[in-house]
């Protein structure tokens, strides 16, 4: 795995060789900082374009992850697996083109997610449009099962980051994600990508995403040990983020009028109870990683310290971070049928559809302004305390 010091030397060398690119990157960073930190205050319910666009080109998946609503609905054989979007809803890449062209006006970071994006039948063309034709910074997140088969396409595409979700070693991953042999297949895929990356001298960054659950909590250190020998950029350990039944009931009682329009459902708790997390083990694992692997790029998202670990997993109504959601100023989520949504883990609210209207018109329409007004007034709602957009 990449070491922090080594990375700094590489960055200095890169700056000396490519001053123009670095200048452009600095400009983007400053712009992102301004938009994310100050746009909220200065622009009120009208917002500058989002910094991040999350594309969900398909909600199909080939795994049954215990902590995921899609995985759970697949296991329960629910056809409309997630919210109101049918699994059949998929747009061909050319349907996205006018939208992608519009994005070049403000150049957001694009993340392709899902479902499992490698199951989206027109992925190669979508990547071509985003990266080769319209030069947008694009990342993809995959569950690894089809990685080996798609390694060449992914390395050739010119992606900035390839994120691989893998939450433990051997049988632990298979158990959490519901498919036997998944760990081995993911590692084979990773090795193939690394081999191709080396041959092509590609700058693709590989990031491993590990969601901490009560099942894998004792494997964090072993995981870092195992993957430290690979040429990957970094590891991110994600704490569980969720909305429980209790949180939703509380929301419905506290905001009876609002909850009719801004509907929320429990999420990411399907088969795993966050309260089962062994906090002592978790704390010990985190400390070990911070001590033994301090030179490596290992992130915890969100970074939860001290007693807040207990609060995070046991007292779900308490905020362990800021009580402010910047989501409708920073991020937009495009569902598989082209619907623009607040976020897949947020309200069941469709703000518009990119096939019917230009995105920027939707971005500042009355629905968006209304939601921003609400969030300016409230900061966030108690039900938001374990949402990914709050951190």
Radius of gyration for the chain, computed over Cα atoms and rounded to the nearest angstrom:
21
By DSSP bridging, strand 350-353 and strand 339-341 are: antiparallel
Of 66 and 192, CB closest to ligand SF4: 66
DSSP of 152-205, one letter per residue? HHHHHTT-SEEEEE--SSHHHHHHHHT-TTHHHHHHHHHHHHHHHHHHTT---E
Q: Does 70 bind ligand SF4 (CB under 6 A)?
A: yes
Which range in 38-46, 86-94, 110-118, 295-303 contacts ligand SF4 by CB under 6 A? 110-118
Cβ 74 to ligand SF4, closest distance in Å?
Answer: 7
Q: What are phi and psi of 387, to 5 degrees?
A: -95, 145
Distance CA 385, CA 136 (A): 32
Contact 28, 34 (CB under 8 A): no
Of 1 and 390, CB closest to ligand SF4: 390
Vertex 302, ends 299 and 308: CA angle to 5°? 120
Secondary structure of residue 60 in the 3-state scheme: coil
Of 186 and 234, CB closest to ligand SF4: 186
Which range in 2-10, 62-70, 234-242, 280-288 contacts ligand SF4 by CB under 6 A? 62-70
x/- map, 221-260, ligand SF4, by CB under 6 A: ----------------------------------------
x/- map, 137-176, ligand SF4, by CB under 6 A: ------x---------------------------------
Residue from the set 50, 115, 168, 214 that interacts with ligand SF4 by CB under 6 A: 115
Residue from the set 1, 63, 110, 215 that interacts with ligand SF4 by CB under 6 A: 63
Of 142 and 234, CB closest to ligand SF4: 142
Cβ 36 to ligand SF4, closest distance in Å?
Answer: 14
Cβ 388 to ligand SF4, closest distance in Å?
Answer: 7
Q: Does 65 bind ligand SF4 (CB under 6 A)?
A: yes
Contact 164, 147 (CB under 8 A): yes
Contact 185, 213 (CB under 8 A): no
Q: Does 103 bind ligand SF4 (CB under 6 A)?
A: no
Q: Does 57 bind ligand SF4 (CB under 6 A)?
A: no
Q: Does 340 bind ligand SF4 (CB under 6 A)?
A: no
Q: Does 298 bind ligand SF4 (CB under 6 A)?
A: no
Distance CA 37, CA 42 (A): 10
Q: Does 344 bind ligand SF4 (CB under 6 A)?
A: no
Residue from the set 1, 55, 68, 272 that interacts with ligand SF4 by CB under 6 A: 68
Binding-site size for ligand SF4 (CB under 6 A) equals 23
**From start to end of 92-149, where are the E strands?**
109-112, 138-142
Of 70 and 136, CB closest to ligand SF4: 70
DSSP of 223-287, one letter per residue? HHHHHTTS--SEEEEEPP--B-HHHHHHHHHH-TTHHHHS----BS-SS--GGG--HHHHHHHHH
x/- map, 190-209, ligand SF4, by CB under 6 A: --------------------
Count of CB atoms within 10 A of residue 94's CB?
A: 11
Largest interatomic CA distance in the chain = 59
Q: Does 189 bind ligand SF4 (CB under 6 A)?
A: no
CA end-to-end span of the chain: 26
Q: Which residues bind ligand SF4 (CB under 6 A)?
A: 61, 63, 65, 68, 70-71, 114-116, 143, 177, 325, 327, 342-343, 346-347, 380-381, 384, 387, 389-390
């Amino acid at each position: 795995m990449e070491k922090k010091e080594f990375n700094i030397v590489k960055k200095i060398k890169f700056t000396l060789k490519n001053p123009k690119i670095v200048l452009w990157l600095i400009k983007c960073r400053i712009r992102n900082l301004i938009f994310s930190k100050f746009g909220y205050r200065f622009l009120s319910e009208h917002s500058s374009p989002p910094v991040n666009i999350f594309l969900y080109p398909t909600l199909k998946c080939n795994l049954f992850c215990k902590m995921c609503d899609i995985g759970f609905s697949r296991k329960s054989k629910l056809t409309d697996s997630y919210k109101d979007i049918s699994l059949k809803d998929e747009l061909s890449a050319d349907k996205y083109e006018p939208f992608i062209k519009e994005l070049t006006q403000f150049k957001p970071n694009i993340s392709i997610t899902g479902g499992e994006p490698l199951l989206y039948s027109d992925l190669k063309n979508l990547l071509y449009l985003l990266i080769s034709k319209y030069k947008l910074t694009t990342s993809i997140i995959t569950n690894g099962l089809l990685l080996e088969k798609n390694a060449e396409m992914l390395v050739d595409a010119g992606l900035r980051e390839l994120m691989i979700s893998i939450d433990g070693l051997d049988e632990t991953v298979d158990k959490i994600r519901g498919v036997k042999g998944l760990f081995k297949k993911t590692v084979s895929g990773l090795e193939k990508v690394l081999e191709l990356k080396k041959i092509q001298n590609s700058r693709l960054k590989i990031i491993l995403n590990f969601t901490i659950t009560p099942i894998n909590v004792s494997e964090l250190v072993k995981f870092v040990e195992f993957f430290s020998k690979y040429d990957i950029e970094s590891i991110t350990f994600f704490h569980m983020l969720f909305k429980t039944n209790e949180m939703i009931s509380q929301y419905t009682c506290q905001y009876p009028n609002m909850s009719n329009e801004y509907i929320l459902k429990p999420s990411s708790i399907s088969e795993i109870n966050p309260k089962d997390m062994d906090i002592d083990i978790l704390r010990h694992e985190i400390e070990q990683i911070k001590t033994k692997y301090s030179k490596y790029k290992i992130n915890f998202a969100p970074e939860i310290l001290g007693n807040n670990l207990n609060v995070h997993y046991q007292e779900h109504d308490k905020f362990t971070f800021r009580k402010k959601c910047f989501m409708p100023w920073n991020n937009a989520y495009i569902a598989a049928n082209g619907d623009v949504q607040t976020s897949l883990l947020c309200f069941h609210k469709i703000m518009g559809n990119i096939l019917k209207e230009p995105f920027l018109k939707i971005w500042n329409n009355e629905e968006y302004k209304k939601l921003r007004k609400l969030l300016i007034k409230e900061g966030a709602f108690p039900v938001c305390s374990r949402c990914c957009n709050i951190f």
